[in-house]
A = this chain, B = another copy of it.
Amino acid sequence: MNQLVDGEWRTDTYESTNEDGEFERQSTTFRNEIEDDPDAEFPAEAGRYHLYVCYACPWAHRTLLVRALKGLEDAITVDYVDPYRGEDGWQFTPEKEGCTPDSVNGFDYLREAYVAADPDATCRVTVPVLWDKKQDTVVNNESAEIIRMLDTEMDSVAERDVDLYPEGYQEEVDRIIEDIYEPINNGVYRAGFATSQEAYDQAIDDLFGALDHWDEVLEDQRYLAGDRLTEADICMYTTLVRFDQVYHTHFMCNVRQIQQYDNLWPYLRDLFQTPGVAGTVNMDHIKEHYYTTHPDVTPSRIVARGPDLDFEAPHDRDDLPGEPPEDLLALA
């Protein structure tokens, strides 16, 4: 695996699995915060911040979703890297459909942004990256923290009154985000990158145990935290929307497909059909990234055809308690 070591690019530095064959995700590095306070180091400000993302990445996808739902498109600019990640890591290939140049710094590789922010950076180079165009540095590259900032600290520059971390739900939202991370969001990676049967089996047990649980929960309520669309749904969504196309086959998460679940599948369609969401999904980039980027998993780098899923089919979840934020309904 490749990463930066003291600001130098290295391609032979660490194993992504431990001696038991279990995938171990390295923690992210930049953990500063945008604040709704003009005197803060990183104050909320329209036009100041920028996102580097890849359409394919579920963690980056979270930030695109919150940006779209809250109407932060004008306030926060965004560039899209190539879905294929090779020896040089995430790369800008503007000639490719759906990709952009680095419109802020003109970099060819995302790692250059990391080194610009910290010349001695020792870390993996991941998306999303939240960049401060004023101080020319990385604010944060941890998706859960970025969506919280976008959600709670940038209302002053957001076009819509959409609160994904509402009063009275916050404890529950935090709990759910934590609960689904290890078995579901990271669970598909633990299954796909496992190098021992035991590690894979444990990941599969955890993953489908959790999916089965949440399928039951969603029988009686429209959203994970109840009747309100929250950040918890954002975090669940980016894994579910990739599931049948890539995690099921490429990562061998093949006990069930999401389309076989009585409630998770309509829930996924409900979210997909929420105004703003569909535009953040680039299934071509998702498929290209996974199948071509992990030769240890799919050596042929052939992109699997995958099932033909109809995300636009009626979901019939309007009768359950809860509806999308009014400002979003107005867009429908």
Distance (Å) between the CB of A295 and the closest chain B CB? 8
Distance (Å) between the CB of A309 and the closest chain B CB? 11
Residue-wise, chain A 244-276 has the 8 Å CB interface mask toward B (1 for contact) of 000011001011110000000000000000000
Nearest-neighbor residue (CB-CB) of A246 within chain B:
B254
**Are A307 and B252 within 8 A (Cβ)?**
no
**Are A302 and B254 within 8 A (Cβ)?**
no
> Contacts of A306 on B, CB cut-off 8 Å?
254-255
Check if A195 is an interface residue, CB within 8 A of chain B.
Answer: yes
Please, how many residues of chain A have a CB less than 8 angstroms from a CB on the other chain? 26
**Are B255 and A305 within 8 A (Cβ)?**
yes
Check if A303 is an interface residue, CB within 8 A of chain B.
Answer: yes
Distance (Å) between the CB of A196 and the closest chain B CB? 8
Q: Identify the interface centre among A200, A248, A305: most chain B CB within 10 Å of its CB.
A: A305
A196 to B300, CA, bound (A): 7
Check if A304 is an interface residue, CB within 8 A of chain B.
Answer: yes
Check if A13 is an interface residue, CB within 8 A of chain B.
Answer: no
CB within 8 Å of B: which of A276-332?
Answer: 296-300, 302-308
Check if A103 is an interface residue, CB within 8 A of chain B.
Answer: no
**Are A302 and B252 within 8 A (Cβ)?**
yes
> Contacts of A299 on B, CB cut-off 8 Å?
296-297, 299
Distance (Å) between the CB of A182 and the closest chain B CB? 18
A317 to B306, CA, bound (A): 29
A71 to B303, CA, bound (A): 45
Nearest-neighbor residue (CB-CB) of A208 within chain B:
B305
Check if A16 is an interface residue, CB within 8 A of chain B.
Answer: no
Distance (Å) between the CB of A228 and the closest chain B CB? 34
Can you show 21 pairs from A to B with CB atoms below 8 A apart? A194-B300, A194-B302, A196-B302, A197-B302, A197-B303, A200-B300, A200-B302, A201-B305, A248-B254, A249-B252, A249-B254, A252-B302, A252-B304, A252-B305, A254-B304, A254-B306, A254-B307, A256-B307, A296-B300, A297-B299, A297-B300
Binding site for B on A (CB under 8 A): 194-197, 200-201, 204, 248-249, 252, 254-257, 296-300, 302-308
* 19 new A-B contacts at CB < 8 Å, known A248-B254, A249-B252, A257-B257: A195-B302, A196-B302, A197-B302, A200-B300, A200-B302, A201-B305, A248-B249, A249-B249, A252-B298, A252-B305, A254-B304, A254-B305, A254-B307, A255-B305, A255-B308, A296-B300, A297-B299, A297-B300, A299-B299
